[in-house]
Amino acid sequence: MFAVIKTGGKQYVVKEGDVLSVEKLNAEAGQKLLFDQVLLLEDGEQTLIGTPILEKAVVKAEVVKNYKNDKILVFKKKRRKQYRRTRGHRQPLTEIRIEKIYPDKTAVPADELKIEIVKKLALEAAPAAAPVQKAKAPAKKEVPAEARPKAKVTPAAKPKARAAKAPAQTKHAKKPKTKTKKTAK
């Protein structure tokens, strides 16, 4: 039996006993979790596909540890401008172990229904941002149309005819020889 769950904006194919790393969850090591966003469930005989999620299916998991992933270097450069920036980033992750896949919530033991559901954890980890009030700019005074300075209206300018230029000499073109004191002798 396997299932496809969604957490942290990503989808994972999981089986019982799998250990995988997901985006950081607000949970301590050893804590049990229920993933209720199950997209697909396959048990060998039948396949259940959610639209977009299966309402009754849940996946039970245990948090193994919270850790940071390897460092990723971000290097920016603009050639010939003496601009270089190097930044490092370590993504926080949570390692979980899949314990049980339940195709129906009614099959979940009553004591396990008290386990925190991952969707609630995600909402706690990213609280709703309070609306930011911008400082109001001072009001502009209305000037009546009669008091405004009038712009001068000029007829469209005609493009000027350009004088014909002599062809430009290239760098390697032969220059006409002129007489100098040495060659004049």
* Per-residue DSSP letter, 30: T
In terms of phi and psi (left: phi > 0; alpha: psi -120 to 50; beta: otherwise), the region of 9 is left
- Residue 117: the pLDDT is 75
18 versus 179: the higher-pLDDT residue is 18
pLDDT band at 67 (very low <50, low <70, confident <90, very high): very high
The position carrying tokens 């300018």 is 157
Query: Is 139 part of a structural domain of the chain?
Result: no
Per mean pLDDT, which of 8-12, 104-108, 116-120, 155-159 is the most reliable?
8-12
Cα–Cα distance, 109 to 175 (Å, whole number): 99
Token digits of residue 142: 């209305």
| Cβ atoms of residues 85 and 75 within 8 Å | yes
Residue 183: pLDDT band by 50, 70, 90 thresholds?
low
Q: Which residue has the higher pLDDT, 174 or 5?
A: 5
Query: Is the per-residue pLDDT at 175 higher than 70?
Result: no
- Domain span at 20: 2-124
β-bridge mates for residue 21, sequence order: 95
119-138 residue pLDDT tens = 666 555 555 555 556 666 66
Q: Would you say residue 159 lies in a domain?
A: no
| pLDDT for the residue 144 | 75
pLDDT at position 72, please?
Answer: 97
Query: 179 lies in a domain?
Result: no
Share of the chain above pLDDT 70, in %: 69
Q: Tokens 């430009």 correspond to what residue?
A: 168
How many domains does the chain contain in total? 1
Amino acid at 19: V
How does the average pLDDT of the chain come out, rounded?
A: 82
- What is the Cα–Cα distance from 10 to 4, expressed in whole angstroms? 10
Residue 10 dihedral angles phi and psi, to the nearest 5°: -125, 160
β-pair type (116-117, 32-35) = parallel
Classify residue 88: in a domain, yes or no: yes
Residue 155 falls within a domain, yes or no? no
Contact between 14 and 20 under an 8 Å Cβ cutoff? The reply is: yes
Cα separation of the two ends of the chain: 106
For residue 23, tell me if it sits in a domain: yes
Q: Is 146 domain-assigned?
A: no
Q: Can you say whether residue 115 is alpha, beta or left, with left for phi > 0 and alpha for psi between -120 and 50 degrees?
A: beta
Tell me whether residue 110 is in a domain: yes
Task: Give me the pLDDT at residue 131, please.
Answer: 58
